[in-house]
Amino acid sequence: MEISADAYANEPVKYPSLHITNLKEEAASVADSYRNQVINRVNGSCLRLAVFEGEYRWHSHPTSDELFIVVEGCLVIDLEDGRELRLGPWESVTISAKTIHRTRAIGRTVNLCFEEVGAETIFVDRTE
């Protein structure tokens, strides 16, 4: 399954400019086991709030870096070369464009992600 840049570009933005957003309350209101939503847009990028448990599929973004900032819980980012990046609250890392990776939440995890608005996602089948 691939998510096109057009689909991401047309994804609804939850809040407009000049709206004060309480991200802690936004995260606390999520009851789903997975939600990744665009909170705001800034120039050609967006701020996503992700709340999830479990793991997300292996994938890459051909033209967009991703900056992850963990707010709550533990986020593990597995890289195709076998490295594992483990982030706790208030730790961050940038994953460069074209880097094949997957994210895993250890328990309930809340993270912020900055990426291009139209960031295409290419899913990769991997056997472990």
Q: What CATH number is given for 2-123 in this structure? A: 2.60.120.10
Mean pLDDT for the chain overall: 92
Kindly state the DSSP code that residue 74 receives in the 8-state scheme.
Answer: E
User: What average pLDDT does range 27-56 have in this prediction?
Assistant: 95
- Note the pLDDT tens digit of each residue in 51-109: 999 999 999 999 999 999 999 999 999 999 999 999 999 999 999 999 999 999 999 99
User: What average pLDDT does range 19-24 have in this prediction?
Assistant: 97
Are 74 and 108 in contact by the 8 Å Cβ rule? The answer is no
**Kind and range of the H or E run holding 27:** helix 23-28
Q: According to the model, what pLDDT value does residue 7 have?
A: 67
What pTM did the predictor assign?
0.90
User: What average pLDDT does range 23-41 have in this prediction?
Assistant: 95
Are 32 and 73 in contact by the 8 Å Cβ rule? The answer is no
Q: d(Cα 105, Cα 54) in Å, to the nearest integer?
A: 5
Q: According to the model, what pLDDT value does residue 60 have?
A: 94
24 pLDDT band, cuts 50/70/90, is very high
Q: According to the model, what pLDDT value does residue 1 have?
A: 42
Q: According to the model, what pLDDT value does residue 9 have?
A: 62
pLDDT over 90 at 127, yes or no: no
Indicate the length of the chain as a whole number.
128
